Amino acid sequence: MSKSKKYIFNTRTLTYEVKKRSRRSRVLRSAILFALSLGLAVVYFWLYTSVLGLELPKTALLKKKNAEWCSRMEVMNRQLDAHEDALASLQMRDDDIYRSIFGMNEIPAEVRNAGFGGVNRYAHYDGMDQNGLLKSTAVRLDVLTKKTYVQSKSFDEVALLSKRAGDMASCIPAIPPVNPDPTRYRLSSSFGYRVDPVYGRTALHTGVDFAMKPGNPIYSTGDGVVESVSFEFFGYGNSIVIDHGFGYKTRYAHLKNIGVVEGMKVKRGECIGESGNSGKSTGPHLHYEVIYKGRHVNPSNYYDLTITPEEYSTMVQNTADMSEKLTLHPSHRKKVGGRS
């Protein structure tokens, strides 16, 4: 066994004497010292954290950084609150004013909020923060981004349609289909559910009926193109459908005579036929419908029967004069001849 030398001063002889120590004793002493040091460290850690309630420097540093990031996210959430309020105001004005002016439907809530339900796309945030602030902020930011995109596309649609506002104003079916002379007609049936006069069951009446004698002139209620001309023994009888664009169509049914053909362009106030009693009809009348984006709507919301017969006649005459000028203009005749 190897020996280790250690010199000890002898006070009696005043000399250094060699004291030999085994390697095992040295290892044992080192182990005891290490164990004591480790025990003191554990006791110090326990006193520092549990008794005194203090934090380790690294823990304190991490908590400080975490507090800084939480403060930043709280500031971001306050900014998101302001942006959400501004976007909600824009959405309200878009649905209630801009889209309403141009006859556009409101954007459904399920479209504005699409893509944020169902599968949890934010599961990876669950173990990253205890209070869930990071996850909630990420969700809010994504939702706001999507809503902003939808609103931007809506404004693009409104802007595109506003450039054609002049054309739209003349195309919307905004006048009665007959001269509103109260001595020449009466409203025999309005829009809505009623008892069918032929079948006797309750059904939706998809238009408005103007009861009048056969042969009264019927006028187009807006600029458009004749989409179809039908001659039926039942149903609508002799009828015309005009496509006005911008989602609007009108139907004129139970006519006696029809003065237009499919594909023909017509102007507001232009005579297109005469009232009659054809098809499924219990008496001479005009059945008039307004169809918006494939859905029947109440025609009375689009015309004003308080207009005087004289004003209506003047409008019809102006339309006839304009059509005559266009027909007689040499360039127009040349263009028409070229098409034929």
Residue 248, domain CATH: 2.70.70.10
130 and 200, same structural domain? no
Per residue in 68-106, pLDDT tens?
888 888 888 899 999 988 888 888 888 877 787 676 778
Residue 217 falls inside a structural domain: yes
Structure confidence at residue 313 (pLDDT): 93
Same domain, 41 and 77: no
Supply the pTM of this predicted model: 0.56
Handedness of CA 34, 37, 38, 39 (dihedral sign): positive
What is the total count of domains within the chain? 3
- 20: domain range? 3-51
Residues 71 and 159 in one domain: yes
Instruction: With beta carbons less than 8 A apart as the criterion, state whether 209 and 286 touch.
Output: yes
Q: What is the DSSP string of 230-276?
A: EE-SSTT-EEEEEEEETTEEEEEESEEEE---TT-EE-TT-EEEEEB
Q: Does residue 38 sit in the same domain as residue 88?
A: no
In a domain? residue 312: no
Q: Are residues 91 and 133 in the same domain?
A: yes
Q: Is residue 103 part of a domain?
A: yes
| Residue 76 located in a structural domain | yes
**Residue at 336 is within a domain:** no
pLDDT at 208: 97
Task: Round to whole Å and give the CA distance between 60 and 193.
Answer: 74
pLDDT class for 339, splitting at 50, 70, 90? very low
Residues 8 and 107 placed together within one structural domain of the fold: no
Contacts of 169 (CB under 8 A, 6+ apart): none
- The CA distance from 99 to 91, in Å, is 10
pLDDT single digits (tens) 99-130: 876 767 788 888 887 666 555 777 777 766 66
Cα angle 67, 68, 71; round to 5: 85
Flag whether pLDDT at 315 surpasses 80: yes
Q: Within this chain, do residues 223 and 259 fall inside the same structural domain, yes or no?
A: yes
The per-residue pLDDT for 337 is 32
Of 155-169, 224-238, 323-337, which range is least confident? 323-337
Whether residue 193 is predicted with pLDDT greater than 80 in this model: the reply is yes
**Confidence band for 10, pLDDT divided at 50, 70 and 90:** confident
> Kindly report the CA angle at 251 between 246 and 254, in degrees rounded to 5?
175
- Asked if the model's pLDDT at residue 199 lies above 80, the reply is no
What is the reported pLDDT for 99? 80
Domain termination site, one of 19, 36, 51: 51
Structure confidence at residue 164 as a pLDDT band (50, 70, 90): confident
Band the pLDDT of 285: cuts 50, 70, 90: very high
Query: Looking at residue 92, what is its pLDDT?
Result: 86
Kindly state whether residues 61 and 105 are assigned to the same domain: yes
Residues in contact with 212: Cβ distance below 8 Å, sequence separation at least 6, in sequence order: 178, 184, 185, 186, 275, 284, 285, 286
Give the residue-averaged pLDDT of 257-285. Answer: 95
> Is residue 59 very low, low, confident or very high in pLDDT (cuts 50, 70, 90)?
confident
Looking at the structure, do residues 21 and 137 belong to the same domain, yes or no? no
Kindly state whether residue 69 falls inside one of the protein's structural domains: yes
Mean pLDDT of the 247-266 span? 95
**Mean pLDDT comparison of 32-41, 68-77, 211-220, highest-scoring range:** 211-220
Mean pLDDT, rounded, for 323-330: 65
pLDDT at 334 over 50: no
- On whether residue 337 sits in a domain, the answer given is no
Task: Single out the residue of 296, 284, 205, 204 nearest to residue 237, CA to CA.
Answer: 284
Does 268 map to a domain? Answer: yes
Of 72-86, 172-186, 215-229, 267-281, which gets the smallest average pLDDT?
Answer: 72-86
Judge whether residue 54 has pLDDT over 70.
no
- CA torsion, points 123, 129, 130, 131, in degrees to nearest 10? -90
Residue 246 has, within 13 A of its CA and on its CB side, a CA count of 26
